[in-house]
Structure formats: structure tokens, C-alpha cells
Amino acid sequence: MRMPPALRKAALAVHLTVSVGWIGSVVSYLALGLWADNTTDDQSIRAAWAAMDTIGWYAIVPLAVTSLTTGLLMALGTRWGLFRHYWVVISLILTVIAVVVLLLHMPDVTATAQFAASASEDQLVDLGGDLAHPATGLVILLIVEALNLYKPKGITRHGRRRASQ
């Protein structure tokens, strides 16, 4: 069932806003991770981890879940469909993976932020920042963005069946 044009545009605006917000919040998180990794100031490391925890739970997680939800609505309510085009399927798979990894990783971020709040100076210097998860997540988000922007050709078997009906 396709959305009426006005609803489709509104849904697309929400989807684009939260998706770009997700990317931006991951960039901010990554910047804090780099800061924590490259400083020896214990207060800076503590502050970076506290901020990463806050950004993670209050910006990245809500934006990620909303992006996934609105992406599903866009696929189901537009001509693209959820399983008709490979780029949509790949975008969905990558987004689900990114959201699941994010949700599994955030408790570790919280635990590390709590540890950093009371750790000694020596423990903090060895702690560093969180770089691998946000960097990998950013690459995945940029791939999804490129897929959604360029919409490479390729119709799935399901899409061919639907087109012939």
C-alpha cells in the first residue's frame, strides 16, 4: 500500500532528518573517542567517556531506532518496496546490523564511563577511547547513505515476480 504524496514527503523528511542526525551523532561520538585516545589529561578522559555515554544513549540510540523504523515505513509505503530491489534489502540488512551492534555495545560504553569516573590516572591513560565501533558504524552508515542516494539497479526475484503481476 503506497502512502499519499503528502504523507510520503513528510515521512521522507523525518527519515532523512533522523538518518543524517544519526551520522552526525556518530561523528561527534568518534571525535570524543579520538580525544580520549589522544590525551593524557585524566579529567578530559573522564569527560569524554561521560559524553560518549550520554550521546550514545540520548542521541545515537534514539536516532538509530527511528531511522530504522522510518526506513521500513518508507520501503513499505513507496514503490521501492521492502524486498523488490537489492539496494533496499542491503540497506535494511546493514541498518539492522548497525542497530543491533549499537544496542549490544552501549552497555559496555556505560560500564566504561562508570569505570572512568572513578579510575586512577594510570588506569585512565591506558583506557583510551572508543574508536573501532563508531568508525565501523560510520562506514556502514555512509554505505547505506550511498545506496539510498544512487539506488543501484538490480531487482530481486521477488521484485521480478511483483513486476510481472
pLDDT tens-digit map of 34-90: 999 999 999 999 999 999 999 999 999 999 999 999 999 999 998 888 888 999 999
Number of domains in the chain: 1
Supply the pLDDT for residue 154: 87
Helix 132-150 and helix 5-38: axis angle, to 10°?
150
Q: Which of 8, 11, 19 is nearest to 95 (CA)?
A: 19
Enclosing domain of residue 18: 5-164
Angle at 25 between CA 117 and CA 151, to 5 degrees: 150
pLDDT of residue 156 exceeding 90: no
Contact 84, 155 (CB under 8 A): yes
